[in-house]
A and B are shown apart, each in its own frame.
Chain A
Amino acid sequence: GQQLNQSPQSMFIQEGEDVSMNCTSSSIFNTWLWYKQDPGEGPVLLIALYKAGELTSNGRLTAQFGITRKDSFLNISASIPSDVGIYFCAGQPGGYGGSQGNLIFGKGTKLSVKP
């Protein structure tokens, strides 16, 4: 089945540093979503991308939908302690003509921030 390769698996950074993570796939996606999950909680939607090449920001977060529609990246600038958590990319496969909405998730990037 379709899979998303998300990297890195984990990051341990200093407060104030910038962070970059990405997802790649062998298949085309028509939507890329980035979520953050805290322990024991549900994933929270951070950024949604719908067009190839689209670059979208949400505060200190910036994400891009790759031109090939097979990849996406998420950047976090000037990290702070509350950025700690697991970040997931999720793609909605293309080709269903809008009839199905299931998401395929990456394995996540665990971010730890040292004050």
Chain B
Amino acid sequence: DSGVTQTPKHLITATGQRVTLRCSPRSGDLSVYWYQQSLDQGLQFLIQYYNGEERAKGNILERFSAQQFPDLHSELNLSSLELGDSALYFCASSNRPGGSYNEQFFGPGTRLTVL
């Protein structure tokens, strides 16, 4: 158990809908990262928050957004869903904003299926 929690475990929805994925980092960790894992693209970095502020942005679509709340939990919002958004979404946390010794610990993931 990494100490990172994600809900829900599974999510099935229809095209055009909007969903929210939730992540609670390990106790004491200030950085939260979101990654998408699909069969063809592998694990891709989406976005990082550190202590409530956006820190880095990766291959995140404009239809996707995220935020980190004062209690440090984070939510990833996916809207206007398309079939191609079906994937595993992972949250990871670390106690540093970046640089050396920035070990990231992953949650169990949310499997999103768009029908």
B103 x A33 contact (CB < 8 A): yes
For the A-B complex, the count of residue pairs with Cβ-Cβ distances under 8 Å equals 87
Residues on the B chain within 8 Å of A108, using CB: 42
The reply to whether A100 and B56 contact each other, CB–CB distance below 8 Å, is: yes
B42 neighbours in A (Cβ, 8 Å): 105-108
Q: Which of B31, B35, B98, B105 has the most CB of A within 10 A?
A: B98
Contact status A31-B102, CB under 8 Å: yes
Per-position 1/0 for A12-48, Cβ under 8 A of B: 0000000000000000001101010000111111001
Does B25 have its Cβ within 8 Å of any Cβ on chain A? no
Chain B binder among A56-64, A74-82, A91-99: A91-99
Would you call A101 and B43 a contact (CB within 8 A)? Answer: no
Complex Cα distance, B104 from A101, in Å, reads 9
Contacts of B103 in A (CB 8 A): 33, 45, 48
Interface residues contributed by chain B, number (CB under 8 Å): 31
Whether A50 lies near B58 (C-beta < 8 A) is no
Least Cβ distance of B93 to chain A in Å? 10
Asked whether, in the complex, the Cβ of A33 is within 8 Å of the Cβ of B104, the reply is: yes
What's the minimum C-beta distance from A37 to chain B, rounded to whole angstroms?
9
User: Which of B70-78, B79-87, B106-114 sits within the interface?
Assistant: B106-114
**Pick from A88, A101, A104: contact of B33, CB under 8 Å:** A101
Cα A90 to Cα B58 with chains together (Å): 15
User: Which residue from A30, A35, A43, A102 sits with its C-beta under 8 Å from B58?
Assistant: A102
Q: Are B90 and A92 in contact (CB under 8 A)?
A: no
Q: How far is the CA of A103 from the CA of B108 in the complex (A)?
A: 17
| 5 CB-based A-B contacts, threshold 8 Å | A31-B100, A33-B103, A45-B103, A98-B98, A101-B102
Other 12 A-B pairs with CB < 8 A, given A31-B102, A48-B103, A101-B56:
A42-B90, A42-B109, A43-B90, A92-B98, A98-B99, A99-B56, A100-B97, A101-B31, A101-B96, A101-B98, A105-B43, A107-B42
